[in-house]
Structure formats: C-alpha cells, structure tokens
Amino acid sequence: MDQARKNVVVLAGCQGLLLVNNSILITVNALAGYALAPDKALATLPVTAYFVGSALTTLPVSLLMQRIGRRAGFTAGAIGAILGSALCAWGVYAGNFWLLCAGTLVLGVYFAAGQYYRFAAADSASADFKSKAISLVLAGGIVGGFIGPETSKFTNDLVAGHLFAGPYISLMGFALLSILLLRWLNIPPLSEAERREAGRPIAGIAGQPTFIVAVLCGMVGYGVMNLLMTATPLAMGHQHPFSDAAFVIQWHVVAMFAPAFVTGSLIQRFGLATIMLTGVVLNFACVAIALAGVDVINFWLALVLLGVGWNFLYVGATTLLTESHTPAERAKVQGVNDAAIFITMVVSSLSAGALFTYQGWQTMNLYAVPFLILAGAGILWLAAARRPPPRVAA
C-alpha cells in the first residue's frame, strides 16, 4: 500500500471519530439546551455555539497547518475537543446553560480542524485518485453514525441526576483515540518556497466559476442539512421517545457517509455536475417527505435522503474546490471556503430553534427550497461554462 492510501486509511479513521463526536452532539445538544435554556427559543444555541467556534477558527487552523503541518494541526483540534467536552459536562452537571454553550464553542475548534481531513487526503493523492481519496475519507464517518447515537443512549444516565452529562464525558475518550491514530499520518509539508509564495489574491481566485459554485454548493448543502437535522430531535421530541430520535439521527449520519464508498467512482463515471445535481434533487425529495407527515417513517426517510443529498453535494464541491487553487494557495482558499460553510451553519442552526418554535417543523422545511434552487442553477451555469465550444467544420 502506497503512502497516499495509508493516509486515506488514517484520515478515514479520524473522520469516523470526528463523526462519533458530531453525532453525539447532534443527538444531545439541542435537548440539553432545551432542558437548561432560560428561554426555550434558545434551545439550539449550544449547536450554534459549536458552529460559531468552528467559523471563528477554521481560517486560523488552515493557516496554522500550513506552518506546522497537518498532523500537528489535527492534534491541536483534538485537544480542543477534550477541553470543550469537559466544559460541557461541567455545564450540565452545574445546570448552567451558558457554560454548556462555552463548551460547545471550544468544541468547534475540533470540528474546524476535522474539516481538513478531506483536503489532507487530496494533498498526497494523484489527480486520478483525488476524488476517490476525498470520498473514502468521508466514508469513515459511517462509524460515527453507528457508534455516536448508541454511545449517547448508553451514557445518557451515566451521571446520576444529571441527564446528558455522560455523553459529553465520553467525547473526551474519542478525542484521545484520534490523537493516537494521528501518529500514523504522514503528509509531506509544503516546501519552503511554497510557504513563501503568496499565490494569487483571494479576490482573483474567488472570481472563478469553479470557486463560486464549489463554495455555493458547500454552503447550501451544509446549510440545508444542518437546519433540518438540528430541528429533528426537537420536532420528534413532542410525540416520539428519545430512542426514536437517536435512531433517526443514526441513520441520517450513516446516509451522509455510506455513499462515500462509491461517490468518487460515480463522479469519475458520470461527472461532477450530474452527481451534484442529483444531490440537489435528493434534498428536494427530503423536503417533500418531511411535508407529508410527522410519523417516525417520515423523519427517517427524509433524513436519509437529506444525508445522501448532502454527500453528493459535499464531495462534489470539495473536489471542485481543489481545481481552483495551487498548492501555495490551498490554505487560504480552503480556509475561506470552510469559513463560509461554517457561517452558513451558524445561521442555520441559530435559525432552527426559532423557526421550529414559532413556525413549526413543516414550515421550516419550505425555507430550504429557494436555496436548493440557487444551488441547482449554479451547477447548471458551471456545466454550461465548462462545456467545450462546438467544433466548426473546415
């Protein structure tokens, strides 16, 4: 096995541990927030704080990795997870809503660093292996889909009299495992010349259709997914038990990452535009099923389609972004891209609690439709721009 494939295996394992972290937080953050919040409209503020922490640190983390390397940067993110998890557990134990939010804010550093696993896989991959490397690393997240919700159910009552403290404590152990696994990561750092080279200004790079559509689809894919996923435990909590919400989130996370085993191959066979448009269509199907009813089967099928749609959009957008920059430009381009995604996630998670509280589950699904139309239009525009001109007969 060559080094690029070894790195994919290590990074896929780290992705799995990151998604254990995320799926536990998805399952408990809104519920813990609802239990502790002084105003129930603030129930999803701990989720929002998680993404605010990510948005504030994603560009600094990218620039830090350019200087100290991927492995050291990923390790720093995992240390942030340990500190943030401890604060969250303390906040739940003390019944302090704002301490819980502070903990999820710090945990956001781990999520920001972990978003670069997919880019790190592309760093040492050949051009023909790049989309598969990105896809296979994301496939590691399927581990989180099974382990995370099960861990949250198993540890929910771990600390007697303090519901939800146990899941936050478990996150520290998973972050330690990530630090150990990273010892096997070996990605050559940028050369001294590449670190010194500034490359093009970001304004010039951002004018490319490739960059515009990659960022747009990353924002829409993550924003729609995060809006509906964040509100799902709240929407189910009024008429379905916690175990049903954990089950739905479990299969949502599986649906997000299981397709990644084949997404790279599908892109190679059918093209980026086709797979990304398919992701948009699957998101529309998710909204339609969510509007059709509030039984467990509706939530389950809607969230499964949402997960697969996100996968196609996200893998496609990530692959597209790698075509828009040189190695010397990758830190700022990747940092700006992920900062834009995290800002979208902040807005969507902050909106989720208020939209659900004041307008309801089905109405909030309709808010996704204009953004999905925009993403679809962007993909079609790029496909037209990249189509070779017709050949003129001699």
Report the chain's mean pLDDT, rounded to a whole number. Answer: 87
- Let me know if residue 64 belongs to a domain: yes
Is the backbone of residue 293 left (phi > 0), alpha (psi -120 to 50) or beta? left
pLDDT in tens, 28-78: 887 888 888 888 778 778 888 888 898 899 989 988 998 888 999 999 999
Of 130, 135, 180, 158, nearest in space to 17 by CA? 180
pLDDT in tens, 310-351: 999 999 999 899 888 887 788 889 889 988 998 898 888 778
pLDDT in tens, 341-394: 988 988 887 788 788 888 888 888 999 999 999 999 999 999 988 777 666 554
- Let me know if residue 216 belongs to a domain: yes
User: How many residues belong to the chain?
Assistant: 394
pTM: 0.77
Q: Which domain holds residue 334?
A: 3-185+194-386
3-state secondary structure of 306: helix
253 confidence band (pLDDT: 50, 70, 90): confident
CATH number at residue 259: 1.20.1250.20
- Dist CA 61 CA 109 (whole Å): 8
- The residues, any chain, with a CB within 8 Å of residue 88's CB and separated by 6 or more, are 32, 46, 99, 100, 103, 104, 107, 168, 171
- Let me know if residue 244 belongs to a domain: yes
For the chain, the domain total comes to 1
pLDDT in tens, 184-197: 998 877 666 666 66
- Let me know if residue 391 belongs to a domain: no
**Following DSSP, what letter does each residue of 180-219 receive, concatenated?**
HHGGG---PPPPHHHHH---S-HHHHHTSHHHHHHHHHHH
- Let me know if residue 394 belongs to a domain: no
- Let me know if residue 135 belongs to a domain: yes
- Let me know if residue 393 belongs to a domain: no
- Let me know if residue 392 belongs to a domain: no
